[in-house]
A and B are shown apart, each in its own frame.
Chain A
Amino acid sequence: GQQVMQIPQYQHVQEGEDFTTYCNSSTTLSNIQWYKQRPGGHPVFLIQLVKSGEVKKQKRLTFQFGEAKKNSSLHITATQTTDVGTYFCAGRGIASGTYKYIFGTGTRLKVLA
């Protein structure tokens, strides 16, 4: 079945440093969603990418969808302590036949002040 892996599993950065998490699917995706989960909280939707090679920006966050629609990345410029949390990608397989989403393994970000 479809699998979605994320690397790294953990990342500790100094405040002000950049951060990137990578998401890789075993199958081609129809679209990909990104979520942030703060410690003790529930996942909160960040963005959805649909087109091959798509790039979207939200302030300090830049999201990319690979040309082959099998991978994606989230880059945060100049991290702040408010960026702490776990970042998940979630992809829907193009051949899945349903609208279920498979979540990635997540990248836990810690920002040191």
Chain B
Amino acid sequence: GAGVSQSPSNKVTEKGKDVELRCDPISGHTALYWYRQRLGQGLEFLIYFQGNSAPDKSGLPSDRFSAERTGESVSTLTIQRTQQEDSAVYLCASSPGIGQPQHFGDGTRLSIL
């Protein structure tokens, strides 16, 4: 079946602009994660959604970052007033349930000029 889909695959924008990144999880997967990966670095946890429970937002680096998910479907990660340090690959992963393997999308490569 279809895997995790992320769009856009690449985004170049000017400093100060807002960006919205989209993640379509695997159908039926109740858990959804967002991570940030800077060049040559590890994965930095941002936010986690599980079903209709309150999300775990503890990894969001500042109030410029926010994310939404409606039910068990699409999620969007929004970065307001982008800064150059926001340049990274943003990865989304979904899993069938809590404590289950995570399936990653190909990521969105975000470049802030």
**A88: which B residues are within 8 A, CB to CB?**
42-43
Chain A interface residue count, Cβ-Cβ cutoff 8 angstroms: 22
Q: How many A-B residue pairs have CB under 8 A?
A: 56
Chain A min CB distance to B10 (Å) = 13
A31 and B43 contact, Cβ closer than 8 Å, known pairs A42-B107, A100-B56: no
- From A45, A92, A99, B101 is in contact (CB under 8 Å) with A45
Interface of B is mostly: strand
Query: Which A16-46 residues sit within 8 Å CB-CB of chain B?
Result: 30-31, 33, 35, 41-45
**B50: which A residues are within 8 A, CB to CB?**
99
**B104: which A residues are within 8 A, CB to CB?**
42-44
Residue B76 CB within 8 A of the other chain: no
Chain B min CB distance to A51 (Å) = 13
User: What are 25 A-B interface contacts by the 8 Å CB criterion?
Assistant: A30-B99, A33-B101, A35-B102, A42-B106, A42-B107, A43-B43, A43-B91, A43-B102, A43-B104, A45-B101, A45-B103, A88-B42, A92-B99, A99-B48, A99-B50, A100-B45, A100-B48, A100-B58, A101-B33, A101-B102, A103-B35, A103-B43, A103-B44, A105-B42, A106-B42
Besides the contacts A45-B102, A48-B99, what 15 more A-B pairs have beta carbons closer than 8 Å?
A30-B99, A33-B101, A43-B93, A43-B102, A90-B43, A92-B99, A98-B48, A98-B58, A99-B98, A100-B33, A101-B33, A101-B102, A103-B44, A104-B42, A106-B41
